[in-house]
Amino acid sequence: MNVRSVGILGGGQLGRMLTEAARPLGLEVIVLDPTANCPASQVGARQIVGSFQDESDIRQLAGQVDVVTIEIEHVNANALKILENNEKMVYPSVQSIKIIQNKLLQKVWLDNEKIAVADYCVIRNGDDFRKGLSRFGGSSILKKCLGGYDGRGNVIITNSNQYEEARSQLQGDVYLERMVDITSSGIGELSVIGVCSKEGEMRFYDPAWNIHHNGILHMSVTPAPIAEYLKRNAYDLARRVIESFDTVGVFAVEMFYEGVQLYVNEVAPRVHNSGHQTIYTAATSQFENHIRAVAGLPLGDTSLVRTGILCNLLGEQGWEGEYRFNFDDLGENVHVYDYGKRVSKPGRKLGHVTLCGVTDVNEAREVLSRISMVKNEGDIISNNY
């Protein structure tokens, strides 16, 4: 079947960049998103205003496209399963979405596949909590099974008296995970993005070094400053993870680096924040390769063509309202991407900057210091990037 149209559940910044990648390939994009004039619709996607949790809205989208994919894993997987059972092309597979959207199921899946993850245990009550904390040495993270992202849904635990307060913050099922000592290596977290075609061909992008602030990705440096043996280990680990899900499209595998050991932290069955720089640093971006994979087109070259640092631009803490970015000429190798979101909210991803030919994070911080967020009236809200 020749694919001429792609439906995306979600029309945020990822849907926007997927749309930009699809249009030169001659593909129409329709997105399902609850916010009118969503970022994807601003660059040519046709939008159905609706919820990616609503079965009827999902059916409406599916009826207008050849293939359905996602920009976020927190979708109605049961509705997608009905489509899949009726031979609609849905990528990634619904099984992989169901497993990955529940962080505990994801851990169990990877554990059963003999893929290294940080030690974890199910928490049903205070006794489970205290036993787990004792087992992990008194420093752990309590995590929500469903709905957590960008540090939300996680509580750092240092003593057994925190249980009641932590449970009041995290509604629903939770589990406890050992706190990996990511300071020991000086690297902390890596991510490897891979893409798999319908024919089973798999390609990988260079590992990125991820730097976080307050649980949200702040910078991704490509290539990661790691030894060649560790790079090979990261590729091997990512391959084993992606092969275990047996699906199509882009997958991102986040890894903690502790001592000489890599542990899988989380898996994303979609294009990922730590791969935005591939638009400028790789021969073919993660967005184009995802579209190519789900549309049944040949995969593009994932080779690194230039080094780069991705830097997220986030909403200022303690302020919400309409805004704009303000900056002077940042140089020809600095690319600012505004997501087109009218309203800033605390910690909201509003855009990103890609610095090409740069691997020094201090140089990136100097460039960020020249970008500010201002109210429409001109008052500066933040220049803390």
Give pLDDT, residue 377: 65
Q: Are residues 346 and 267 in the same domain?
A: yes
- Report how many domains make up the chain: 3
Residue 66 belongs to domain with CATH number:
3.40.50.20
Residue 292 placed within a domain: yes
Q: How far apart (Å, rounded) are the C-alpha atoms in residues 106 and 95? A: 11
Give pLDDT, residue 182: 80
Q: Are residues 49 and 83 in the same domain?
A: yes
Closest by CA to 146, choosing from 241, 93, 73, is: 73
Which tokens sit at 251? Answer: 């997958």
Q: How far apart (Å, rounded) are the C-alpha atoms in residues 347 and 343? A: 12
Give pLDDT, residue 383: 62
Q: Are residues 354 and 251 in the same domain?
A: yes
Residue 362 placed within a domain: yes
Q: Are residues 163 and 42 in the same domain?
A: no
Q: Are residues 209 and 350 in the same domain?
A: yes
Q: How far apart (Å, rounded) are the C-alpha atoms in residues 372 and 323? A: 10
Closest by CA to 356, choosing from 314, 313, 303, 310, is: 310
Residue 107 placed within a domain: no
The domain boundary residue, chosen from 155, 178, 201: 178
Residue 59 placed within a domain: yes
Residue 288 belongs to domain with CATH number:
3.30.470.20
Q: Map tokens 């004039």 to a residue.
A: 37
| φ and ψ of 211, to 5 deg | -120, 125
Q: How far apart (Å, rounded) are the C-alpha atoms in residues 229 and 232? A: 5
The domain boundary residue, chosen from 147, 178, 209: 178
Give pLDDT, residue 28: 98
Non-local CB neighbours of 116 within 8 Å, separated by 6+ positions: 237, 261, 262, 263, 264
Helix axes 94-101, 77-85, angle to 10 degrees: 170
Residue 211 placed within a domain: yes
Closest by CA to 359, choosing from 255, 211, 251, 231, is: 211
Q: Are residues 34 and 136 in the same domain?
A: no
Residue 210 placed within a domain: yes
Residue 183 placed within a domain: no
Q: Are residues 345 and 305 in the same domain?
A: yes
The domain boundary residue, chosen from 90, 108, 128: 90
Residue 74 placed within a domain: yes
- Provide the CB-side half-sphere exposure for 243 (13 A, CA): 13
- Range of 348's domain? 189-382
Q: Are residues 75 and 151 in the same domain?
A: no
Read off the DSSP letter of residue 206.
P
Q: Are residues 129 and 149 in the same domain?
A: yes
Q: Are residues 169 and 196 in the same domain?
A: no
Q: Are residues 155 and 259 in the same domain?
A: no
Q: How far apart (Å, rounded) are the C-alpha atoms in residues 182 and 189? A: 7
pLDDT tens-digit profile, the chain (385 residues): 789 999 999 999 999 999 999 999 999 999 999 999 999 999 999 999 999 999 999 999 999 999 999 999 999 999 999 999 999 999 999 999 999 999 999 999 999 999 999 999 999 999 999 999 999 987 899 999 998 877 788 999 988 888 889 888 898 899 999 998 887 777 889 999 999 999 999 999 999 999 998 889 999 999 999 999 999 999 999 999 999 998 899 999 999 998 888 999 999 999 999 999 999 999 999 999 999 999 999 999 999 999 999 999 999 888 899 998 988 889 889 999 999 998 999 999 999 999 999 999 999 999 999 998 887 666 767 666 6
Q: Map tokens 């660059």 to a residue.
A: 43
Q: Are residues 252 and 299 in the same domain?
A: yes
